[in-house]
A and B are shown apart, each in its own frame.
Chain A
Amino acid sequence: MTSGGLIERLQHGLWRDNPGLVQLLGLCPLLAVTTTLVNGLGLGVATLMVLTLSNGLVSATRRWIQQEIRIPIYVLIIASLVTCIELIFKAWFPSLDRSLGIFIPLIVTNCAIVARAEVFASRNAIGASLADGISMGSGFALLLMAIGAFRELVGHASILSGLDMITGGEPFNGLALADNGLLLAILPPGAFFSLALAVAAKNVLDRKRLASRKADMPRRMHQSGNAQT
């Protein structure tokens, strides 16, 4: 894997190597908290912050860390950052913190984070590592939000319920679109179905793109006049 520019990192994080869609990492929080869009956003942002900061710290200290003790040090760094983020959520977004419950402390166990520390941040400069953290974190957060929005729309037939947990003010039950939703979507099996649909949708899109590129290729080669095989 190369360090590359920010654009390339974003392409990796948001699509090609999306931690949730492609690497299938961090599935436990992904499946557990995505009952609403706001919950997905909350955990997504928390994960994004931890991932970016841990990538930055791991990259900054990479020259002083011996190979054999690197994993305990990553765990220390990640656990400390998660504790800080949890305190910040408790102080400024108390109801969001209650809604996400144990899944904020459990960010520690999100293997996407230690994977980025090991695979990327420990081998790249700070700038690239931060960019990687932002890209991978955003990719994970967007997937959480997409699945949260999908399950909320199908299951509750409403959207944006619990927005007050972020903005403050009166409790907000969401914009209702119908009286009743398909209950299955909010129950645990609905999480698996939604993720499967998301992964399938990505594969279909990728395949279509690949097919159209293949269809284009002979024509382009013919036009440029130097086709080889």
Chain B
Amino acid sequence: MSAERPILRSGATLALIAALCTALIAATFQVTAERIAANEKALLEQSLLPVLDGVFYDSALGDSRLVIPPPHALPGNDAAVIYRVYAGQQAAAALFAVTARDGFSGAIRILVGVDVAGKVTGIRILEHRETPGLGDKIDVTRSNWVYQFDGRSIGDPVFSGWAIRGDGGEFDQLTGASVTPRAVIKAMRDTLIYFDAHRAEIFSLPATEEGQ
């Protein structure tokens, strides 16, 4: 009997401390939850806005989210996310969050905006781990490289033109880095082809429920 006592006491102490710690976290969560949710919503809108240049729309950004589970023809082998924006009942543009897996180091997450006519309204790199000083020029804070796609579409240039100049394409390369721009351009091309083939269903499918 006497041997069990310290164990019981230790267990009780641990349980008490665990309860206190849980209470501390719960209280902090209560205080911060509202601000964190607001921050996340603002961040999403802020990240979507730059690829909607020149698009007229009146629907709330981020409300019409469509998740396309794999397998799909979009870049990347995980679920692709599409945000749709509308002007009244009319489709205005679709924003694709896709992943290029063939970058120099790790996945490159790209946001591509395409208006209803199939023209690129902007692209931004959401996340990458390309080499600082070389491949990281795909990031808009480092260079203007991503702007050259604005207004392009899958017919402009034609399929073979969607490559860097060194490969016979129409787009600028980056000094010292060719793997990175190749990956981004290929992802853009495949996104535009997908948009072209699935335009009607992209805008008519119901929004995917939150938490999926």
Name A's B-contacting residues (CB within 8 A). Answer: 61, 64-66, 68-69, 72-73, 76-77, 79-81, 83-84, 87-88, 90-92, 94, 155, 171, 173, 180, 183, 186-187
* A66–B35 touching, CB < 8 Å: no
Q: What residues of chain B have their CB less than 8 Å away from a CB belonging to chain A?
A: 6, 9-10, 13-14, 17-18, 21-22, 24-25, 28-29, 31-32, 35-36, 39, 43, 132-133, 141
A28 and B142 CA atoms in complex are apart in Å by 27
B211 to chain A, nearest CB (A): 19
Q: Which one of A84, A92, A180 contacts B25 once the chains associate, using CB atoms below 8 Å?
A: A84
> Is the beta-carbon distance between B17 and A73 smaller than 8 angstroms?
yes
Residues of A within 8 A of B133 (CB): 180, 183, 186
Partner of A88, one of B13, B18, B32: B32
Instruction: Among A69, A76, A171, A186, point to the contact of B21 (Cβ < 8 A).
Output: A76
Q: Which residue of B lies closest to A186 (CB)?
A: B132
Contacts of A79 in B (CB 8 A): 21
CB distance from A36 to the nearest CB of B (A): 11
Once the chains bind, are B132 and A187 in contact (CB under 8 Å)?
yes
Contact B14 A90 (CB under 8 A): no
What are 24 A-B pairs with beta-carbon distances under 8 A?
Answer: A66-B9, A69-B14, A72-B14, A73-B14, A73-B17, A76-B14, A76-B21, A80-B24, A83-B25, A83-B28, A84-B28, A87-B25, A87-B28, A87-B32, A90-B36, A90-B39, A91-B35, A92-B35, A94-B39, A94-B43, A155-B132, A180-B133, A183-B132, A186-B133
Closest to B9 in A: A66
Q: A69-B13, A72-B14, A73-B14 are in contact. Are A87 and B36 (CB under 8 A)?
A: yes
A88 proximity list for chain B (CB < 8 A): 28, 32
Specify the chain B residue showing the minimal Cβ separation from A64.
Answer: B13
Inter-subunit contact B13/A80 (CB<8 Å): no
B40 to chain A, nearest CB (A): 8
CB pair A76 B18 closer than 8 Å:
yes
| CA gap between A173 and B142 in the complex, in Å | 10
9 further A-B contacts with Cβ under 8 Å, apart from A66-B9, A84-B24, A90-B36, are A64-B13, A66-B10, A69-B13, A72-B14, A79-B21, A80-B22, A87-B25, A87-B36, A92-B35
CA distance in complex: A173, B141 (Å): 8
Residues in A neighbouring B35, C-beta threshold 8 A? 91-92
Complex Cα distance, B68 from A21, in Å, reads: 50
A53 CB, min distance to chain B CBs, angstroms: 10
Q: Are B25 and A91 in contact (CB under 8 A)?
A: no
Which single member of B17, B32, B36, B132 contacts A76 (CB below 8 Å)? B17
Chain A residues with Cβ below 8 Å from B141 are 171, 173
**Do residues B13 and A65 form an inter-chain contact, with CB atoms below 8 A?**
yes
Instruction: Please give me the residue from chain B that is nearest to A35 by CB atom.
Output: B132
Say how far B45's CB is from chain A's closest CB, in angstroms: 13
Contact indicator B39/A91 (Cβ below 8 Å): yes
Instruction: List the B side residues contacting A69 at CB < 8 Å.
Output: 10, 13-14
- Complex alpha-carbon distance, A69 and B18, angstroms: 13
Q: How far apart are the CA atoms of A187 and B18 in the complex, in Å?
A: 40
Shortest 3 CB-CB distances between A and B: which pairs?
A: A80-B21, A91-B32, A91-B35
CA–CA, A94 to B35, complex, Å? Answer: 10
CA gap between A88 and B29 in the complex, in Å: 9
- Which of B10, B18, B29, B43 is in CB contact (< 8 Å) with A68? B10
Chain A: minimal CB distance from B74 (Å): 25
| B-chain residues with CB within 8 Å of residue A186 when the two chains form the complex | 132-133
What residues of chain A lie closer than 8 Å to B43, measured between beta carbons? 94
The interface residues of chain A lying within 8 Å CB-to-CB of B29 are 87
